[in-house]
Amino acid sequence: MQFYRLAFLLLFPFVSIAQNNDAETVRKIHEHILSKGMCYEWLTNLCTQYPGRLAGSAADSGAANYTKSVLETLLPDTVYLQECQTLYWERGDTGQIFRVLPDGDLSPIMGLSLGRAGATGPNGITAQVIEVKSLDELERLPDEEVAGKIVFFNRPMDPSFVNTFRAYGGAVDQRVYGPNRAQKKGAAGALVRSMTLRIDNVPHTGVTVFDSGQMKIPAFAVSTKDAERLSKALTEAPVYVYLNSNCKDVGMKPTYNVIAEIRGSEFPDEILLVGGHLDSWDVGQGAHDDGSGCVQAMEVISTLQKMNYKPKRTIRCVLFANEENGLAGGLEYARVSKEKGEFHLAALESDAGGFTPKGFSFEADTSVFKKYYKAVSQFLPTFEGYGLYFEMGGSGADISPLKSQKGLLIGLRPDSQRYFDYHHTTIDTIDAVHERELKLGAAAMTSLIYFLDTYGLGSSTTQNTESGTH
């Protein structure tokens, strides 16, 4: 028994009766998934058979076919692939970075080309490094100090934030826009300190964005350990590095949203979407980002089917294509949905890792948010019993284009402490995912979908609650 739960019952005393059945259903959902859930097994297959699922790659389409075939075994009403197109960028060789020592020797730096970065040409480039801590600091430098140099963005993520996503949000502008800004000032290349709170040898890739028609310069993430070494060396003498990379934009390629649906019996036109994104970066296995979210969404469908639950509303599992570098899947899904005149009452995405769930984050168009907020707050006591909170905030990139439908957008919020240890790296592999933590996320998602299906978001109960609290 938890203290704040008591407080809540004082506010909504009449809710507690109705929730006895709900509590039992949620308990059964947890029991089923923890003892018989399949999501970890599916994730193992996805990671080991289709690692590096960069949108448009063979692994990406293989993963779409694999997950489609698994979803078919769960016997939902429909399962299909939705094709869209993405610009396919290829890393080519691994890419190399060396510090050129005063005697001409080369000292290796752990690095990875950023996604959609430019290449060096076959002979590589050697240039002097200048370090900045922010885009603003770069802007203030005279162009002639930047021209021909390699700009090194080295502002660390701030460890003092409890939520690591806030620390990421406070540093990632360097990776996304740094190379672009550096090029505009004439830089020959860019290095970006990896987006992680650990000090280690693991470089973290991720997208970097050039303007349409802008010349793409080579740009690498460097490991935090090497970033610290490089920064120290810069305090002592001029530093030169040698870069070599042959990554390139190959052209447009097809990629696929995987969609499975259980048709609602009473309100089939109110869609409850649950999803993650199937693509990953080309390094590692995309285990936490975001194989976890995909198999959790599949587990929602699986659990409802195995518990023989007949939803009132349409429940749709969507494994989105191309979240990492283009959002083609999310955009195409929303476009087709709009064309069909669909309404997503709620969309829930898991894209923050397969760690122990801590809660859900809700967003919606301001015209409807307050109404939805009151409706979901009725579900909270049951979730609090599982240590889960509700908060206002973001949801997920893939479902964000659905916002104009004025439904409720929801993000699963797992414990964030370890996410950026693995994010966009070679070590985001199945052994970094804990089976029970992954399953608890799936159970939390299934429980929320159950509540949304049972009560909707604008029922008369909500009206009662409103009057009850004033």
Nearer to a copy of itself, 57 or 223 (CB): 223
Is 409 among the residues that bind a copy of itself (CB under 8 A)? no
Distance CA 431, CA 139 (A): 42
DSSP string, 213-267: TPPPPBEEEE-HHHHHHHHHHHTTS--EEEEE---EEEEEEEEEEEEEEE--SSE
CB contact at 8 A, 362 and 393 = yes
Is 437 among the residues that bind a copy of itself (CB under 8 A)? yes
Distance CA 391, CA 377 (A): 10
Give the orientation angle of helix 58-73 with respect to helix 39-49, to 10 degrees.
Answer: 160
What's the min distance (Å) between Cβ of 358 and a copy of itself? 5
Is 358 among the residues that bind a copy of itself (CB under 8 A)? yes
Tokens 């990139």 — which residue?
A: 397
Contact with a copy of itself (CB under 8 A) among 66, 177, 267, 389: 389
Nearest CA to 215 among 182, 183, 174?
A: 183
Is 194 among the residues that bind a copy of itself (CB under 8 A)? no
CB contact at 8 A, 467 and 321 = no
Contact with a copy of itself (CB under 8 A) among 17, 162, 215, 237: 162
Contact with a copy of itself (CB under 8 A) among 200, 373, 426, 458: 373
Classified as helix, coil or strand, 279 is coil
Largest CA distance in the chain: 79
Of residues 132 through 161, those in contact with a copy of itself by CB under 8 A are 158-161
What's the min distance (Å) between Cβ of 270 and a copy of itself? 23
Is 168 among the residues that bind a copy of itself (CB under 8 A)? no
Nearer to a copy of itself, 424 or 439 (CB): 439
What's the min distance (Å) between Cβ of 315 and a copy of itself? 23
Task: Please report the sign of the dihedral spanned by the C-alpha atoms of residue 69, residue 70, residue 71, residue 74.
Answer: positive
Is 431 among the residues that bind a copy of itself (CB under 8 A)? no
What's the min distance (Å) between Cβ of 122 and a copy of itself? 41
Q: How many residues bind a copy of itself (CB under 8 A)?
A: 41
- Both tokens assigned to 278: 């199937």
Site residues (vs a copy of itself, CB under 8 A): 1-4, 7-8, 10-11, 30-31, 34-35, 158-162, 164, 197, 356, 358-359, 373, 376-377, 380, 384, 386-387, 389-392, 415, 417-418, 434, 436-437, 440, 469
